[in-house]
Structure 1
């Protein structure tokens, strides 16, 4: 699944983790592939499956940014 980096940054900031958000901003590409970038996401303390659930699950949280 592809997720816009800004969605991930917003999630980290909403969790009060500005340091990780800054690190993510520097290390992640503009569009994050949860499979391809799983290692980077794990390094940031993010589970790719959790991201899919939080950002892509029910209610269309990504509004068309999902890679299909």
Structure 2
């Protein structure tokens, strides 16, 4: 599954985590592979089910 980097950044900014949002913006691709980057997303306390693109 992949999720949009823009969605992750928006969630982090809503939480006031601007430094983390900047890190994600610099380091991750536009489409984030949840298998490859799952550890980082978990560390950021992001719920993948909420971030998934609706199909």
Deviates more, 1:20-29 or 1:33-42: 33-42
2:12 maps to what in 1?
Answer: 12
- Structure 1 alignment gaps of length 5 or more: 57-61
Of structures 1 and 2, the larger Rg is shown by: 1
- Structure 2 alignment gaps of length 5 or more: none
After TM superposition, the score normalised by the length of structure 1 is 0.65
1:53 maps to what in 2?
Answer: 49
Number of aligned pairs? 55
1:41 maps to what in 2?
Answer: 41
Alignment of 1:31 onto 2:31: yes
After TM superposition, the score normalised by the length of structure 2 is 0.77
Q: Once superposed, what is the RMSD of the aligned Cα atoms? A: 1.9
